[in-house]
Amino acid sequence: MANPIDTLQQFIDEAEHIAFFGGAGVSTESGLLDYRSDNGAYTKLERQKLDPRRVMSKRYLLNSPEKFFNQTNNKKKRIKSEPNAAHLYLAELESKPKDVRIITQNVDRLHQTAGSKLVVELHGNNRHFHCMECGREYKPKEIQRDELNIPRCPIDNGIIRADVVLFGENIKPEILERAKELIASSDLLIIAGTSLTVNPAKNLIHYFKGKRVVVINKTPLKIDFPIDLVIEDAVGETFKQLSI
């Protein structure tokens, strides 16, 4: 039986267009928590008898901004994260050059930090902010907070929020179409670090019509189309063993 790493290396070497579909597990080795594991953000909220779909929703943000910003976002210790081996490998592979298309469910922009040029962020990112009233854009260091710790626009006192997709919001149609296009035109699909439980992101992989599908995940996934290679390991640890 062939070594799984050797097989993955062969698939990457032979592929002309690689689509990398990544979830929270891609960034856990950078020190960021995922969502649905024992220590994940959703699990922690559920232990507090809070419904993640409610307290991480746009409606909750609008109706209870003081609770939204104090109970869900700012009570989390800010972690200085850096790209891990997976981010760095994909960026280096693209620079060789190799046609690498990244479709990510993450909002941390670690792929861009590593140097990747083609990144589709399905759920936006938490590095860019805007006022919900006037649309003015803000950098993190520019944000001012009121006495309730709510980020406010100094022009119109509107709430400033991150450019992320919350529960109750839809992924922008142009983002979905771009992701579909990139996946459909690839000949290798690597699904990594995702539970594939969130719509509509989980359905995007079904647009793949190419040659080979690889899954890299610590736990098994239920996917209803053929998979050519499964590696049950951390994503970064897997990519550490590959060569360019």
Residue 240 forms part of a structural domain? yes
Identify the pLDDT of residue 163.
97
The answer to whether 216 touches 12, Cβ cutoff 8 Å, is: no
Identify the pLDDT of residue 162.
97
Helix (H) or strand (E) holding 10: helix 4-14
DSSP 78: P
Identify the pLDDT of residue 94.
97
Identify the pLDDT of residue 71.
74
Residue 70 forms part of a structural domain? no
Q: Is the pTM of this model over 0.95?
A: no
Tokens at residue 111, please? 């792929």
Cite the active site residues.
Answer: 123
Residue 68 forms part of a structural domain? no
Identify the pLDDT of residue 37.
62
Cα–Cα distance, 179 to 9 (Å, whole number): 24
How many separate domains does the chain show? Answer: 1
Residue 115 forms part of a structural domain? yes
HSE on the CB side for 240, CA within 13 Å? 10
Residue 148 forms part of a structural domain? no
136 three-class SS:
coil
pLDDT in tens, 107-166: 999 999 999 999 999 999 999 999 999 999 999 999 999 999 999 999 999 999 999 999
Low-confidence ranges of the chain (pLDDT < 70): 1, 35-41, 72-79
Cα–Cα distance, 195 to 202 (Å, whole number): 9
Identify the pLDDT of residue 40.
66
Residue 40 forms part of a structural domain? no
List the domain range (segments joined by +) for residue 183: 1-31+80-123+170-244
Tokens at residue 207, please? 């647009």
Residue 47 forms part of a structural domain? no
Residue ranges in 40-191 assigned as alpha helix (H): 41-47, 52-55, 58-63, 65-67, 85-94, 110-114, 173-184
Tell me the Ramachandran region of residue 150: left when phi exceeds 0, alpha when psi lies from -120 to 50, beta otherwise: beta
CATH number of the domain that 242 lies in?
3.40.50.1220
Residue 153 forms part of a structural domain? no
9 three-class SS:
helix
Tell me the Ramachandran region of residue 121: left when phi exceeds 0, alpha when psi lies from -120 to 50, beta otherwise: beta
Identify the pLDDT of residue 201.
86
Residue 235 burial class via C-beta count within 10 angstroms: exposed 0-12, middle 13-18, buried 19 and up: buried
